[in-house]
Copies of this chain bind each other. A is one copy, B any other.
Amino acid sequence: MTRKIALGAFLHPSGHHVAAWRHPQAASDAGINIRNYIRLAQLAEAAKFDLVFLADQIAVPSDNLDYVSHTTRATYFEPLTLISALAAATQHIGLVATVSTSFNSPYNMARYIASLDHISGGRAGWNLVTSGSALEGENFGLGDDYRLHANRYRQAAEFADVVRGLWDSFEDGAVPDDRAAGRYINEARVHALHHVGEHYRVKGPLSQPRSPQGQPVLVQAGSSPAGRDLAARSAELVFTAQPSLAQAQEFYADVKARATSYGRDPDSIRIMPGVFPVVGQTEAEAQEKFATLQDLITPEVGREYLSLHLGGIDLSGLSDHDPVPDIAVGERGHVSRPQLLLQKARSRNLTIRDLYLEIAGARGHWQIVGTAESIADQLEAYFTQNAADGFNVMPPSPTGLDDFVTLVVPELRRRGLMREDYDARTLRGHLGLAIPPNRYSATARQPERALA
């Protein structure tokens, strides 16, 4: 069996484009409409995607309520509750929820995700993010220092270690359920963690048996050096913004090399750049679909959106036709994304309007507008040229996932790049990731299925 492209469906209320909510087919309540999400998850499952993916933001997106009023991004489900409901409405597809380490306790997090793994029969993944916005911190009484970049990643690494330690609380075989002897658990196979670290003190054990995947899949999405390092150390799946083949190859090689330096098999990490595909039956139709979305962007949204993505800088004294100003990126908040955008603006002499039109759809992710064939060509190039193990598909509009499933998936399948059907029932099984050995056990469980 040849290796297949891994595919995620990165669900967003009406689509990822900033003006997608104005699309004629958008539902008014898309962000809090469970039927909308169930439809999309079942659509991705019917197409045999590996997973659905949910992002998160734990605040309204801006203090500028005038800006907020122009975007649906202010209203959406909390991901853990949403993904648990999706677990009950699907059978095979993996389920990855983003939850920040900054505002949660590792014991709660370990329970949430292990519970989801039991509920879903082994389909859970946790996208570990650190939070960097002042707006989010203010909802948790946290001062500005919580945002310091190095702190956040050191704390996140410890957080991930504790969660994984708790997931190993029960070895396989820890629940003999011996009714005659009146013994449910074999306590010799249940372990308290007794973690005492820089940020956390957690005793354990977790009150759940080892979950169907051994451990849920750990996903990470940081692209800065600290983020790459955390991914290389802890993650099994990496979600990343890589808008060009060369950049994606650099990132891919770097993360796999870092993983090797941590003593890990580089093949134990799957790298999935985001892709924002605008698909048409013809090139012209694709361009027209994209133009329709772009025309829905108002200048005030475009400018505020750009300001947010440049770390909150003030553009109010500048016109849409001024060049993007030369600013320094601070040490608080997100770092890698603003740098990427500023480089792009400088190298191509972009105006403010040029840049906001470029990011409003894919937000710095890889954006492809074209036919199924041209999109498949580009995905195949990433996949075969060591730039990606798969892609997190970001539907642009309310019908973007339908377009991808109807047009691009058959083309990928025709090329032998995508599975015809599921041959596993767990997310690890879909991705070909091994079941991690329990730290307290002598022997590891066999993986459900290994990719050849």
Residues of A within 8 A of B (CB): 21-22, 28-29, 32, 34, 38, 57-60, 65-66, 68-72, 74-78, 80-82, 84-89, 103-105, 107-108, 111-112, 114-116, 118-119, 121, 135, 138-141, 170, 175, 177, 179, 182-187, 190, 200-205, 207-209, 296, 298, 301
Contacts and interface: CB of A to CB of B under 8 A. Distances in A.
A116 B80 CA distance: 10
Contacts of A298: 182
Contacts of A182: 22, 70, 296, 298, 301
A89 B66 CA distance: 39
Nearest to A197: B141
Contacts of A66: 187
A323 to B, nearest CB: 26
Contacts of A74: 184-185, 190, 207
Given A38-B88, A205-B60, A82 B115 contact: yes
- Copies in the assembly, this chain: 2
A149 B357 CA distance: 56
30 contacts: A21-B179, A21-B184, A29-B175, A34-B87, A58-B108, A59-B203, A60-B190, A60-B205, A66-B187, A68-B185, A69-B184, A69-B190, A70-B182, A70-B184, A74-B185, A75-B175, A76-B208, A78-B112, A78-B115, A80-B81, A81-B119, A84-B84, A85-B85, A105-B140, A107-B139, A107-B140, A138-B201, A138-B202, A139-B203, A141-B202
A32 B170 CA distance: 13
Contacts of A175: 28-29, 75
B32 A208 contact: yes
B88 A119 contact: no
A204 B77 CA distance: 16
A73 to B, nearest CB: 9
Contact of A207 (B38, B75, B82): B75
- Interface hub of A70, A71, A77, A78 (most chain B Cβ within 10 A): A78
A187 B84 contact: no
Nearest to A184: B72
Nearest to A19: B182
A230 to B, nearest CB: 22
Contact of A85 (B65, B70, B87, B112): B87
Given A104-B108, A107-B139, A182-B301, A81 B116 contact: yes
Contact of A141 (B70, B190, B200): B200
Nearest to A121: B34
Contact of A203 (B138, B204, B296): B138
B81 A115 contact: yes
B207 A76 contact: yes
Given A34-B119, A78-B115, A115-B82, A107 B71 contact: no
Contacts of A140: 105, 107, 202
- Interface hub of A86, A115, A183, A202 (most chain B Cβ within 10 A): A115
Contacts of A170: 75
A89 B90 CA distance: 11
A58 B301 contact: no
Contact of A119 (B77, B121, B186): B77
A305 to B, nearest CB: 13
Given A84-B81, A184-B72, A177 B28 contact: yes
Contacts of A186: 69
A202 B142 CA distance: 9
